[in-house]
Amino acid sequence: MLIINCPYCGPRDQSEFSNGGEAHVKRPDGSKEIGDREWGEYVFIRANPKGLFYERWVHTHGCRKWFNCVRDTSTDEILVTYKLDEKKPNLNDFKSVVKTPSGEPEVGSGNFTVEK
């Protein structure tokens, strides 16, 4: 279970939060011109990386505010949480433990504990 640092309330148990999927998804411009395929991508396709991932959470059973987060999906380590109006952090500032291109961490299967 995760401890999530709500930018408004501080660290709380994951059971207070709901996940909102990928963050920073932009609705395509020029809705009259774009085709079905591009619309389909906007509606159905979301990033699904093994490694660093921008995502949204909402503090459902708390302040009920939405915020963004960078989490490593190969370890579930939360690297930073930030408010919606704050600048998107640069992923290069974080170290990813994913070692191989297909995304396997060194010990395999993501079954390990992050050493602090």
Give CA–CA dist 60/27, Å, rounded: 25
28 is a site residue for other proteins (CB under 8 A): no
Tell how strand 10-13 and strand 3-6 pair up: antiparallel
101 is a site residue for other proteins (CB under 8 A): yes
Q: Which of 29, 44, 85, 95 binds other proteins (CB under 8 A)?
A: 44
Q: Which of 41, 61, 83, 86 binds other proteins (CB under 8 A)?
A: 41
E strands present in the chain = 3-6, 10-13, 18-22, 52-58, 66-72, 77-82
79 is a site residue for other proteins (CB under 8 A): no
Stretch that binds other proteins, among 31-39, 80-88, 89-97 (CB under 8 A): 31-39
